[in-house]
């Protein structure tokens, strides 16, 4: 199994108790399997290797002697102990009184935060013919951290190994956190954890565990399926003891909880603990950090995306909770989906970041976009929520398999093609140039231009995410609205660094272009980041820009694509997003961007080359001839330049001819 059990690595058992009760004798009896007549004041610390302990955990046994150790040393040892055995002599009432008057307060004092489990051990039963257990039970009721009690004899060896086994068990499978002896019921924290586990296992979300779900649960927790007979027996026990433990031949939540309290009452704490640990709980019944935040190395030039497995898990989760199958999550469905998490992963503003339906409910597409965004910008949160949602249990491996680390960006640039699926685009422009509207247009595909403009945009989030088709492949594009405070403010490195930059200006405002022209020269001209200049508000009158170059001339001078016109009222609003995604997916491979030039026969050829797997050599020759393609002014020039360069490549000559020919006859 890949998921590591978060069990303690060693168990440290400390024996305390008044002088002469038999601490040292107990340890030596365990080790030599015979009663030592002469004992030293204090036994040396003993380490028992994992393979000879019942729970397969290395165990240290530590003695205490008031004659040899100071009070400070005792306190130190109590602090280090994972369990303390308080030894008393059954024939010595004073040693019993001292449990409550001295030892318990001392142990509590040294473990102020989380209680240290305690085992009460009555030694020297060979000397008496009565039991002290009744009195001990009273003490146990008073102190919930006392896990158990046992009577034994170092002299006759009675219950010696049992005593150490109980001590080990008190550490590994403590009762106190999961069961309240006083209330004779599971603790609230344990119930909460088991309710979450029940929900995760209830794959069809009908509030019941059927035989298949129970079997899967059993296999995942204990690596073995349930025998049909055992299933029947379990249900029979429930039917006998509870009115509504079984319904429609399935186990109800009430039945599931009842079974666990039964295990614990019968001393089978380890069963419940195995289940709890499998689902990520630590000794305090919190979800452990190791479980929620597995480590994954991400090189600085790489990003993180959902893997096929992660995608599959989340799709399945969506289908489970989209009860009405309308491909969107209603508020109730959303709440149900994340009811196994302490809080939902996203706040109410998510509807302003990703696609929703007309009711504002997050669609499947929006849901996947949101996961993609979270995986890109806040990987630990993705791991955390996958953990809450039970990924580790379903897949029987850590959340790291739900994520893939992309290859470093410098390799993408060298190959002029990226294998990534999620790209970040920074939308930069002067205030009022139309950045936020452009970002909103990206997700509000069901709204027309008028509704888009009339929408209340206060509290607009800084990014929107949607899917875009790039040469037949679905890519996710994150548009980040870079809020420019002051035109003279410099951009910070994290505001510049992205996969593609979208510089916006307002065609109707003569002072608008200058800002992005300066931004381009200062931050992007020398960088490897592809840039698209977008002329916003194209439905308004275009005015002359008060800058030394007009936008088209500027683009020509810097060999970048001519300004892309954009208007919320326009018909081809999505073009701009396809272009941005394409530029991000094929950084510095401008031939791929030819797609943007409508009706060009070359467009189709590039398309063919990119869609159909071609020998790499072809693509290389093709690219070499397109290298100077930055200077693209209009369709005709593109056509001729490309045509001429290509004609020079004999290997491709025939192909070009064919493409041109087919285009003509159509
Ligand atoms: N009859 C009987 N005597 C025991 C038993 N265990 C220990 N003794 C005797 O009790 C006396 C004290 O035993 P120790 O093991 O030295 O006690 P301790 O708790 O280590 O005492 P300190 O080191 O002084 O704290 C010795 O004479 C032992 O032989 C037992 O199970 N039965
Ligand atoms: Mg001793």
* pLDDT at site 637: 38
Tell me the fold of 11-172: Rossmann fold (3.40.50)
Q: How much is the pLDDT for 419? A: 80
Q: What is the mean pLDDT of residues 592-620?
A: 50
Tens digits of per-residue pLDDT, 510-538? 999 999 999 999 999 998 899 999 999 98
With 0.85 as the threshold, say if the pTM is over it: no
DSSP-assigned letters across all residues of 520-577: IIIIITTSS--EEEEEE-TTSPP---SSSS-HHHHHHHTT-PPPEE--TTSS-TTHHH
Helix (H, G, I), strand (E, B) or coil at 67: coil
Distance between CA atoms of 359 and 333, rounded to whole angstroms? 14
Centroid of ligand 1 to alpha carbon of 20 (angstroms): 5
Q: In the CATH scheme, what is the code of domain 415-598?
A: 3.40.50.300
Q: Assess whether the C-beta atom of 560 lies below 6 angstroms from ligand 1.
A: no
pLDDT > 90 in the chain, percent:
61
Q: What is the pLDDT of residue 597?
A: 54
Radius of gyration of the CA atoms of the chain, in A: 35
Q: How far is CA 77 from CA 13, 110, 145, in A?
A: 10, 9, 18
Q: What is the pLDDT of residue 435?
A: 86
Task: Give me the mean pLDDT over the 167-196 stretch.
Answer: 92
Of the bound ligands, which one is closest to the alpha carbon of residue 66?
1
- Percentages of the chain per state (helix, strand, coil), in multiples of 5: 45, 15, 40
C-alpha 200/C-alpha 661 separation (Å) is 59
Q: What is the mean pLDDT of residues 153-179?
A: 93
**Ligand 1 atom with least separation from CA of 41:** 23
- Residue ranges with strand state E in 471-529: 473-481, 500-506
CA-based nearest residue to 465, from 422, 429, 403, 504: 422
In this structure, of 255-259, 356-360, 410-414, 439-443, the range with the lowest mean pLDDT score is: 410-414
Q: Give the whole-angstrom CA distance, residue 190 versus residue 257.
A: 9
pLDDT at 132: 94
Which of 230-244, 281-295, 605-619 has the least mean pLDDT? 605-619
Could you read off the pLDDT of 346-397 as tens digits, one per residue?
987 888 889 999 898 999 999 999 999 999 999 999 999 999 999 988 887 8
Q: How far apart are CA 161 and CA 150, in angstroms?
A: 11
Q: Are 305 and 420 in contact (CB under 8 A)?
A: yes
Residue 60 φ then ψ, to 5°: -105, 135
Residue 614: which pLDDT band, with cuts at 50, 70 and 90? very low
Task: Tell me the ligand closest to 21's alpha carbon.
Answer: 1
**Is residue 8 predicted with pLDDT exceeding 80?**
no
| Of 71 and 360, the one with more pLDDT | 71
Q: What distance in Å separates the CA atoms of residue 567 and residue 508, rounded to the nearest whole number?
A: 12
Q: What is the full DSSP assignment across 314-383?
A: HHHHHHHH-TT-SSEE-HHHHHHHTTTSSS-SS-GGGGGTS-B-TTSPEEHHHHHHHHHHHHHH-HHHHH
CATH of domain 290-406: 1.10.238.10
Query: With bands split at pLDDT 50, 70 and 90, how would you rate the model's confidence at 595?
Result: low
Alpha helices (H) in 227-268, listed in sequence order:
228-241, 253-265
List the residue whose alpha carbon is closest to atom 22 of ligand 1.
Answer: 19
Q: Residue 56 Cα, ligand 2 centroid: separation in angstroms?
A: 27
Burial class of 640 by CB neighbour count within 10 A (0 to 12, 13 to 18, 19+):
exposed
Q: What is the pLDDT of residues 541-568, one digit of tens each?
A: 999 999 999 999 999 999 899 999 998 8
Contacts for 593-598: CB closer than 8 Å, 24+ residues apart:
593/561, 594/629, 594/638, 594/642, 595/471, 596/561, 596/564, 597/632, 597/635, 597/638, 598/635
pLDDT digits (tens, 9 = 90+) for 82-91: 999 999 999 9
Give CA–CA dist 505/563, Å, rounded: 10
- Measure 41 CA to ligand 2 centroid, in angstroms: 4
**Exposed e or buried b per residue across 235-268, where buried means at least 16 C-beta atoms within 10 angstroms of its C-beta:** bebbeeeeeebbeeebbbbbbbbbbbbbbbeeee
Is the per-residue pLDDT at 120 higher than 90?
yes
Tens digits of residue pLDDT in 617-658: 444 444 443 433 333 333 333 333 333 333 333 233 333 333
| pLDDT at residue 586 in the model | 84
With a 6 A CB cut-off, is 154 part of the ligand 1 pocket? yes
Report the mean per-residue pLDDT for the chain.
Answer: 85
User: Is the CB of residue 69 below 6 angstroms from any atom belonging to ligand 1?
Assistant: no
Ligand 1 and 155: CB distance under 6 A = yes
| pLDDT confidence tier of residue 304, bands split at 50, 70 and 90 | very high
Q: 229: which residues sit within 8 A by CB, 6+ positions away?
A: none
Q: How would DSSP label each residue in 168-209?
A: HHHHHS-STTTEETTTTEE-HHHHHHHHHHHHHH-TT-SSEE
Residues of the chain with pLDDT > 70, as a percent, come to: 84
Check pocket membership of 25 for ligand 1, CB cut-off 6 A.
Answer: yes
pLDDT tens digit string along 445-480? 665 655 655 665 555 557 899 999 988 889 999 999
Q: Is the CB of 31 under 6 A from ligand 1?
A: no
Task: Return the CATH number of the domain spanning residue range 182-286.
Answer: 1.10.238.10
Query: DSSP 3-state assignment of 465?
Result: strand
Classify 36 as helix, strand or coil: coil
641 lines ligand 1 (CB under 6 A): no
CA–centroid distance, residue 146 to ligand 2 (Å): 23
Quick one: pLDDT at residue 383?
A: 97
**Closest among 2, 3, 6 to 287, alpha carbons compared:** 6
Whole-number Å distance, alpha carbon 236 to ligand 1 midpoint, is 50
Which residue's CA lies nearest to atom 6 of ligand 1? 22
Cβ proximity of 291 and 280 under 8 Å: yes
**Are the beta carbons of 568 and 558 closer than 8 angstroms?**
no
The beta-strand segments (E) located in 358-472 are 362-363, 403-405, 422-428, 463-470
22 CB within 6 A, ligand 1: yes
* Confidence at 441, pLDDT banded by 50, 70, 90: confident
Closest ligand 1 atom to Cα of 64: 25
């Amino acid at each position: 199994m890949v998921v590591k059990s978060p069990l303690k690595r060693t168990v440290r058992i400390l024996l305390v108790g008044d002088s002469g009760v038999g601490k040292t004798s107990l340890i030596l009896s365990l080790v030599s399997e015979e009663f030592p007549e002469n004992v030293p004041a204090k036994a040396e610390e003993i380490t028992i290797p994992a393979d000879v302990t019942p729970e397969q955990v290395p165990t240290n046994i530590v003695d205490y002697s008031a004659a040899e150790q100071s009070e400070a040393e005792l306190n130190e040892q109590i602090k280090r102990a994972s369990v303390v055995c308080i030894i008393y002599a059954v024939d010595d009432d004073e040693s019993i009184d001292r449990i409550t008057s001295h030892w318990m307060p001392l142990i509590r004092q040294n473990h102020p935060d989380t209680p240290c489990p305690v085992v009460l051990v009555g030694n020297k039963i060979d000397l008496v013919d009565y039991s002290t257990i009744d009195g001990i039970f009273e003490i146990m009721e008073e102190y919930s951290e006392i896990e158990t009690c046992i009577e034994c004899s170092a002299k006759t060896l009675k219950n010696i190994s049992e005593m150490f086994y109980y001590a080990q068990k008190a550490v590994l499978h403590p009762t106190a956190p999961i069961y309240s002896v006083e209330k004779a019921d599971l603790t609230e924290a344990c119930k909460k954890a088991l309710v979450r586990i029940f929900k995760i296992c209830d794959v069809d979300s009908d509030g019941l565990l059927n035989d298949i779900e129970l079997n899967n649960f059993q296999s995942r927790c204990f690596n073995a399926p349930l025998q049909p007979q055992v299933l029947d027996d379990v249900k029979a026990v429930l039917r006998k003891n509870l009115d509504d433990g079984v319904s429609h031949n399935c186990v109800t939540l009430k039945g599931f909880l009842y079974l666990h309290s039964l295990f614990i009452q019968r001393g089978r704490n380890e069963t419940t603990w195995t289940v709890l640990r499998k689902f990520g709980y630590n000794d305090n019944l919190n979800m452990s950090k190791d479980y929620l935040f597995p480590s994954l190395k991400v090189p600085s030039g790489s990003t993180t995306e959902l893997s096929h497995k992660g995608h599959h898990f989340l799709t399945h989760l969506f289908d489970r909770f989209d009860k009405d199958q309308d491909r969107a999550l209603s508020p109730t469905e959303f709440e149900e989906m994340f009811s196994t998490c302490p809080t939902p992963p996203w706040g109410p503003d998510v509807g302003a970041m990703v696609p929703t339906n007309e009711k504002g409910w997050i669609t499947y597409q929006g849901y996947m976009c949101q996961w993609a965004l979270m995986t890109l910008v806040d990987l630990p949160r993705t791991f955390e929520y996958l953990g809450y949602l039970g990924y580790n249990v379903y897949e029987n491996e850590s959340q790291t398999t739900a994520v893939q680390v992309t290859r470093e960006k410098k390799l993408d640039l060298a190959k002029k093609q990226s294998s990534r699926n999620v790209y970040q685009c920074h939308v930069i422009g002067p205030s009022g140039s139309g950045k936020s509207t452009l970002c909103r247009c990206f997700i509000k595909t069901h709204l027309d231009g008028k509704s888009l403009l009339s929408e209340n945009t206060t509290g607009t989030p800084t990014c929107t995410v949607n899917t875009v088709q790039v040469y037949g492949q679905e890519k996710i594009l994150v548009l980040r609205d870079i809020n420019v405070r002051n035109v003279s403010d410099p951009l910070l490195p994290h505001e510049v660094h992205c996969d593609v930059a979208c510089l916006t200006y307002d065609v109707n405002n003569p002072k608008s272009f200058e800002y992005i022209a300066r931004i381009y020269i200062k931050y992007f001209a020398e960088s490897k980041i592809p840039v698209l200049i977008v002329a916003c508000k194209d439905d308004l009158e275009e005015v002359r820009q008060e800058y030394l170059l007009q936008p088209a001339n500027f683009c020509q001078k810097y060999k970048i694509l001519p300004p892309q016109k954009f208007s919320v009222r326009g018909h081809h609003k999505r073009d701009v997003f396809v272009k941005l995604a394409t530029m991000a997916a094929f950084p510095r491979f401008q031939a791929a961007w030819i797609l943007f030039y409508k009706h060009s026969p070359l467009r189709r050829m590039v398309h063919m080359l990119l869609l159909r797997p071609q020998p790499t050599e072809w693509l290389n020759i093709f690219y070499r001839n397109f290298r100077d393609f930055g200077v693209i002014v209009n369709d005709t020039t593109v056509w001729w330049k490309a045509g001429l360069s290509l004609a020079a490549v004999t290997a491709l000559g025939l192909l070009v001819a064919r493409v041109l020919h087919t285009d003509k006859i159509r």
